[in-house]
Amino acid sequence: MRLVFCGTASFAVPSLRACAAGHDVMAVVTRADRLGSRGQPAPRPVGDAARELGIEVLTPARIGAPEVVRSLLDLEPACLVVAAYGQILPVALIEPPPHGAVNVHASLLPRWRGASPIAHAILAGDAETGVSIMRMEAGLDTGPVYAMARVPIEADSTTPTLTATLAELGASKLVAVLAALEDGTASVTPQPEEGVTYAPRLGRADGRVDWAARRAVDVDRMVRALQPWPGVRAPLAGVDVQIQAGVPVDLAATAAPGTVAGSEGESLVIASREGGYRVDLITPPGKRAMTPAAFLRGRRSVEAKR
């Protein structure tokens, strides 16, 4: 089957490879390259994978531009496949192909429609998440679902680990849906009207810890969910540091939220609104990752030399 694939993030790479293995991918549409840290090009996983597979890569600034829509439809795709692309596709593009457009979405729709479904599922404390293979329509992730698969969210699940799991699971389900579309056996189920939630894009403000407002379990969810972006930041010894790892712990003492309530080896226990959060690994500004105790020793050494 002739396909046009639209994707940008690493989540989409297994789906692209699955499409290329069984179908004719006429072109891959991805977001244009941009500068990352220290002026170096930011990674574009789908574009890199497409070039490796020998597939033409297109990087239109706006996929909804009339000339872009015409050029893609001129490729005569039987179906568009979309996964973690980053732009909304216009109706003028998704309706003309015989099989429309199929989206690989990392949630159990209608829960967590939107741009950041995996992180929001962890933040909310959901017991499970999954992937939905959906037929696209004009609304935001509102289309009927071809197939769905579920996975548990474990106590140590992070956005990167869940993304990797769901990316492979989504590719597997996508292969089955495309085969069913090709042989005419595919069927869809409308999304229920109840249970709709939204997962908007996350920004730096979402990663700021307010110890007085958050329970230790909430901080734990933040640290696991907001990797690698936007990260979780909190003050330690007067410096805003990024918390890389830790776990919630019982805290019997009545310490003020945000204060150091104890230590365990190289880790520090910070009091929260309810319970304590043991911080195991941090990244201070401009430095490598280290334990909180090592950071404090360095601070004391610097202050002693003044």
Q: What is the mean pLDDT of residues 91-102?
A: 98
Least confident interval from 29-38, 61-70, 98-107, 136-145: 29-38
Cα 65 to Cα 214: distance, rounded to the nearest angstrom: 44
Per the prediction, the chain carries an average pLDDT of 94
pLDDT in tens, 194-226: 999 999 999 999 999 999 999 999 999 999 999
Residue that is written with structure tokens 């439809």 in the block? 73
Q: Closest Cα partner for 44 from 3, 86, 82, 93?
A: 86
From the candidate CATH numbers 2.60.40.1180, 3.10.25.10, 3.40.190.10, 3.40.718.10, the one assigned to the domain spanning 204-305 = 3.10.25.10
Region of poorest pLDDT, from 35-44, 115-124, 148-157, 262-271: 35-44
Tokens representing 285 are: 């500004």
How far is Cα 116 from Cα 103, in angstroms, rounded to an integer? 15
pLDDT at 299: 77
pLDDT single digits (tens) 10-59: 999 999 999 999 999 999 999 987 655 455 556 689 999 999 999 999 99
User: Could you tell me the CATH superfamily of domain 2-199?
Assistant: Formyl transferase, N-terminal domain (3.40.50.170)
Q: What is the mean pLDDT of residues 227-238?
A: 93
What's the confidence (pLDDT) of residue 302? 54
* Domain residue extents for the chain: 2-199, 204-305
pTM of the model: 0.94
pLDDT of residue 221: 98
